[in-house]
Amino acid sequence: MKLRSIAELVGGTLAGDGDAEVFSVASPANAGPSQLIFISDASGAGLAESSDAGCVIRPVDLEISFDGATISVPNPKAAFAKAAAVLHGRKSRPTGIHPSAIVAPDAAIGEKVFIGAFCYVGEGSSIGDGTHIRGGAKIGDNVSVGSGCTIHPNVFIEDGCVVGNRVVLKSGAVIGSRGFGFVRDGDELIKFPQIGTVVIEDDVEVGANTCVDRGALGETRIGEGTKIDNLVQVAHNVSIGKRVVIASQTGISGSVKIGDDCVIGGQVGFADHTEIANGTIIGAKSAIFPGKKLRGGAWGGVPVRPLDEYKRLQAHIRSLPRLKADVDELKKLAGRLGNLVRSDEEE
């Protein structure tokens, strides 16, 4: 991209040759003349000034001594990410269906679709324009996949699921597997019907080896713009709002409702039927017990509690060794006083 195009893309002010081009992004230490870097604050100024990069994105209020071009923006990290999304965009792939792929005769395949080696597209399914289905991916029967999606290798989308536009499903993700639901009848566990669906809205990303189970009788839904990390479990009938961020190894039990714009740390455990308000932040390794309803704000701990309260409790826990030592000392003093009292009584 020409630097003037990058400046226009990120809404920044360019200082330098607008016709100069960069081809990729890099860190300041590793960048060359055809690469773009960024710094967020004054702590990175020295790295930028010693870098061989062709252009640096910097804060508007930070002056640096840099021989190359600069683009000044209010939020350098976000601007850098926008530029990187174009410079390192989705790989261009040829339109067509690989000879080893199996596509049902009644499947509706849009324009400029790529279907790679050993893929499968089932009966009654539809694939939107410009979608890429990479090697080994399986699309079940009566599945709807929107336009501009990237389905990475070995993804499974089971029967009857709905995937919106510009969705990214990373390698090994399983969408629409039967949920984990049983009814106990004496000594027998009977499988409860898992015949619902999964609906993934536009611009969602689902990480590698993440599983999203279909609803039992209704739907499991992931809202527009939500980003889910690798190795996350989303159980049946879960509803996740828009623009939610969920980190790795989080487990979400059945019928949990998560509002819009939430941030969920790694290894968080959600028991069934919990409800999370819009904008809630949950720290890593927290546990939300069944039926719990979290209002907005920051939460953490096991069981989960408001973050300020959790921090106070942790401070008290760290004080326990000192408290134990104080109690032991008091017990010794009490023992000595008791001995003195007994001695006075005997005299």
Query: Among all residues, which ones are annotated catalytic?
Result: 236
DSSP H helices in the chain: 3-10, 45-49, 76-87, 307-318, 320-346
CB distance 48 to 37 below 8 Å:
yes
First-to-last C-alpha distance (Å) of the chain: 99
SS3 label, residue 11: coil
What's the one-letter identity of residue 285?
A: K
Q: Please enumerate in sequence order all residues whose Cβ is within 8 A of that of 285, keeping only pairs 6 or more positions apart, or say none.
A: 265, 266, 267, 268, 302
Q: d(Cα 313, Cα 274) in Å, to the nearest integer?
A: 23
Q: Which two tokens stand for residue 310?
A: 């959790």
**Tokens at residue 273, please?**
């039927």
d(CA 343, CA 347): 6
DSSP state of 302: T
Q: Could you tell me how many helices (H) and strands (E) the chain has, helices first?
A: 5, 39
Is residue 236 within 8 A of residue 254, CB to CB? The reply is yes
Q: How far is CA 248 from the centre of its chain?
A: 7
Handedness of CA 13, 17, 20, 24 (dihedral sign): negative
